[in-house]
């Protein structure tokens, strides 16, 4: 309750500073009316969306996501203004003290707010505001194909040049543009990889979310098949189900949908891919995650039928599983494929220069390729989106990995 009160006070303070910035640079009342009108519309819509429909646990419908997205953009806008103008207020306060005690003046007078500072504040605040709006309009469907080549000394010769396409975190319950999704599915098929691996979170909460998209994703194809695992959202844990049976049936329905789309769902089990008398193992665990996430994954059970010398590809939705259990395991898992983080759907990436997102403070491995003890993990940035209905800087990802016979190279 205390945190909520502090948050409300902070929001009011930010709105006041936003008002002051606009008032400083213009005397036009319409600008102030417009500002308050936008604030009331955005905040009012959020409360309306949150309280006008039945609450089903932590289910966030697309329209509620958009309400949250607009509030997030407004919050970022006012936060920048507040930081700059509050800093100016500190300077103004000490300037007033100086004039009173450091000069011959007797009165305490705080200098007026400077128009230039307010202009700078509004200009800087417009950057995250516009970026978040762009992310909601265009960024969430700005699909990128990221290609990697990984070398392994012990890769079977027959699999030299073998291509894997990985997708993750579809979150079909968030989609609102069929044309964009069909384009992305075509883009996946254009990679013409040997095998397609999906690393969990097909839906946000309910199996029914995938029904409108079943035919679209059913068009995905790969020569050696399509394999999948479950993510934390696939279990329906965030819904207030009327009964345990309803929750169980939801998961069974999702399994059936995946089968109808041609996916081989691996539930703590394994399969072999064979080529020219040689083979590699595909291992799939159920979700295992630190920090309160579901721990249904059983690595020992999933690898029970695998030989120690097999070349192993592990599918595990949550990358926290990798350091916690996979790397120190008695088996050597050559390549682990994960997702889950979405790269927080927000960050800055300039290939070869910078890769940053606030999610790095939660997950050590959060996007791209990492290497420890000769074992690789790729953390896919996700196909879809959840919560904030957009992406800024961290774009939706389709990964294509080519396996090559050769000396391994360390990647940080």
DSSP calls for 266-332: -SSEEEEEEETTEEEEEEE---B-SSS--B---HHHHTTT--TTS-EEEE-S-THHIIIIITTSSS-
> What angle is formed at CA 249 by the lines to CA 243 and CA 255, rounded to 5 degrees?
150
pLDDT tens over the chain, length 412 residues: 577 677 778 888 889 889 899 999 988 889 999 999 999 999 999 888 888 877 676 777 888 999 999 999 999 999 999 999 999 888 888 877 767 666 656 666 677 788 899 999 999 999 999 999 999 999 999 999 999 999 999 999 999 999 999 999 999 999 999 999 999 999 999 999 999 999 999 999 999 999 999 999 999 999 999 999 999 999 999 999 999 999 999 999 999 999 999 999 999 999 999 999 999 999 999 999 998 899 999 999 999 999 999 999 999 999 999 999 999 999 999 999 999 999 999 999 988 889 999 999 999 999 999 999 899 999 999 999 999 999 999 999 999 999 999 887 666 4
137 CB-side CA count, 13 A: 8
Q: Decide: 405 and 162 in contact? Cβ < 8 Å.
A: no
| CB atoms closer than 10 angstroms to residue 192 | 12
Distance CA 267, CA 287 (A): 9
Q: Buried b / exposed e across 381-390, counting CB within 10 Å, b at 16+?
A: bbbbbbbbbb
Q: Which residues touch 116 (CB under 8 Å, ≥6 apart)? A: none
Query: Token match 């697309």: residue?
Result: 62
Q: What is the dihedral of CA 103, 108, 114, 120, to 10 degrees?
A: 100
Q: Give the position of tokens 């265009």.
A: 138
- For tokens 């399969």, name the residue: 271
Query: What is d(CA 278, CA 78) in angstroms, rounded to the nearest whole number?
Result: 60
Q: How many CB atoms lie within 10 A of CB 346?
A: 21
Q: What is the pTM of this model?
A: 0.92
Measured between its terminal Cα atoms, the distance across the chain in Å is: 42
Give me 80's structure tokens.
Answer: 């920048």
**Cα distance between residue 12 and residue 34, in whole Å:** 17
Contact predicate 408/153, CB 8 Å: yes
Spatial strand order in the sheet of 397-405: 144-152, 397-405, 162-167, 195-198, 226-228, 263-265
The reported pLDDT for the residue numbered 143 is 97
CA 328, distance to chain mean position in Å, is 27
**Which residue carries 């009964």 as its tokens?**
243
Whose tokens are 């391994």? That residue is: 408
Residue 2's pLDDT is 74
Give me the residues paired with residue 288 across strands: 295
* Domains, the chain: 2-137 (no CATH), 144-405 (3.60.21.10)
**Rounded distance, CA 160 to CA 30, Å?**
67
Per-residue model confidence (pLDDT) at position 411: 61
Degrees to nearest 5, angle at CA 289 with 155 and 282:
25
What is the reported pLDDT for 105?
61
State how far the alpha carbon of 123 is from the alpha carbons of 32, 118, 158, 375, in Å: 17, 8, 58, 46
- Strand 375-379 relative to strand 368-372, pairing: antiparallel
Position 100 scores a pLDDT of 66
């Amino acid at each position: 309750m205390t945190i909520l009160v502090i948050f409300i006070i902070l929001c009011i303070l930010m709105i006041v500073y936003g008002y002051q910035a606009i008032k400083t640079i213009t005397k036009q009342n319409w600008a102030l009316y417009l500002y308050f009108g936008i604030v009331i519309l955005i905040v009012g819509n959020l409360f309306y969306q949150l309280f006008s429909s039945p609450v089903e646990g932590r289910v966030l419908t697309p329209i509620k996501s958009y309400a949250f997205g607009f509030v997030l953009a407004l919050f970022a806008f006012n936060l920048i203004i507040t930081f700059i103008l509050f800093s100016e207020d500190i300077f103004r306060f000490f300037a007033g003290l100086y004039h009173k005690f450091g000069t011959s003046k007797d009165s305490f007078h705080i200098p007026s707010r400077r128009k230039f500072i307010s202009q700078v504040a509004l200009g800087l605040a417009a950057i995250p505001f516009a970026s978040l709006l762009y992310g909601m309009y265009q960024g969430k469907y700005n699909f990128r194909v990221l290609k990697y080549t990984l070398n392994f000394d012990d890769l079977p010769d027959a699999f030299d040049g073998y291509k894997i396409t990985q997708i993750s975190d579809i979150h079909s319950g968030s989609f609102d543009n069929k044309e964009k999704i069909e384009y992305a599915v075509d883009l996946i098929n254009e990679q013409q990889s040997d095998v397609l691996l999906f690393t969990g979170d097909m839906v946000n909460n309910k199996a029914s979310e995938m029904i409108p998209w079943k035919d679209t994703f059913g068009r995905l194809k790969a020569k050696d098949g399509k394999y999948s695992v479950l993510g934390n959202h696939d279990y329906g844990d965030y819904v207030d189900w009327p009964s345990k049976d309803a929750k169980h049936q939801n998961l069974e329905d999702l399994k059936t949908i995946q089968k109808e789309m041609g996916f081989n769902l691996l539930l703590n089990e394994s399969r072999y891919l064979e080529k020219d008398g040689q083979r590699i193992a595909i291992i799939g665990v159920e979700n295992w995650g630190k920090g309160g996430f579901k721990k249904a994954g059983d690595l020992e059970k999933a690898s029970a039928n695998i030989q120690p010398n097999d070349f192993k590809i592990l599918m595990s939705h949550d990358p926290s599983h990798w350091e916690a259990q996979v790397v120190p395991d008695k088996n050597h898992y050559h390549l682990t494929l994960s997702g889950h983080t979405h790269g927080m759907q927000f960050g800055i990436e300039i290939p070869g220069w910078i890769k940053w997102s606030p999610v790095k403070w939660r997950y050590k491995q959060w996007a791209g390729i990492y290497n420890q003890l000769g074992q690789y993990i790729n953390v896919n940035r996700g196909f879809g989106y959840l919560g904030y209905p957009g992406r800024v800087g961290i774009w939706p990802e389709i990964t294509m990995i080519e396996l090559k016979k050769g000396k391994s190279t360390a990647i940080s």
